[in-house]
Amino acid sequence: MQTFEELRQASLTCQACRLAERRTNVVFGEGNPESPLVLVGEGPGENEDKTGRPFVGRAGQLLDKALTDNGLDRTKVYICNTVKCRAADWSTGKPVNRAPMEDEVQACRQWLVPQLGFIKPKVILCIGAPSAKNLIKKNFQITKERGMYFPCEFAKTAIATLHPAYILRQMNVQKNDGGYSLLVADIARAWAAAQKLVEKELNGSRPETAEAVGTLFDL
């Protein structure tokens, strides 16, 4: 039987999609694999590709701040991405980050699905639309449906939130926090749900559906 570390090691040489051609490092994920909460982002950017670590650039710094504002950090949650290699457009010679394509997302499920299978989180927080479309439903609408509990194949429930890179762009065009308070609130909701589900399990009761999970939190 494969261990979590063996799965991680195997991913580091993956050639299953075109993103392997230009990557520096595969970014498998990091944090606490025993955590009841997993955050799943979109994919590595330039800094993540360089370091092999998720969310270490500007967006990552904002995510860290939102975790800190909730009394959390990377030792308390697990953080990974929808695709493990950087997606960029190289047509001008200089890489410009782009969203992962559907076939790349599908190919990388060969790592994400067993990764989530090992961790067995109570709650998944999808960071940004590509993650929510992959793990919750194809037609997920991030601005309308963020912060709500959904059924998920890989956890008791999943919630989606705004991507910190989107928030950083909004901060520049608007005179408000760009949605940062929503990110903080969604992390709080996800963590509270995870804690409640751990407690429930300790007490011997296990809500099995997202609806039953929802009734735990006065939805």
38 within 8 A of 113, measured Cβ to Cβ: no
Could you tell which of ligand SF4, ligand URA, none binds residue 59, using a CB distance below 5 to 8 A set by kind? Answer: ligand URA
Could you tell which of ligand URA, ligand SF4, none binds residue 55, using a CB distance below 5 to 8 A set by kind? Answer: ligand URA
Which of residues 44 and 197 has its CB atom nearest to ligand URA in the complex? 44
| E runs forming strands in the chain | 30-31, 37-41, 78-81, 88-89, 96-97, 123-127, 150-152, 155-161
Count Cα atoms within 13 angstroms, Cβ side, for 42.
Answer: 21
Q: Is there binding between residue 185 and ligand SF4 (CB under 6 A)? A: no
Q: Is there binding between residue 11 and ligand SF4 (CB under 6 A)? A: yes
- CB 180 → ligand URA: shortest distance, Å? 15
Give, as ranges, the residues between 67 and 106 that touch ligand SF4 (CB under 6 A): 83-85, 104
Q: Is there binding between residue 187 and ligand SF4 (CB under 6 A)? A: no
Question: Which residues of the chain form contacts with ligand URA (CB under 6 A)?
Answer: 41-45, 48, 54-55, 57, 59-60, 81, 165
CA distance 120 to 124: 10
Residue type, 68: T
Closest among 78, 77, 107, 93 to 14, alpha carbons compared: 107
Q: Interface with ligand SF4 by CB under 6 A: which residues?
A: 11, 14-17, 19-20, 26, 83-85, 104, 107-108, 111
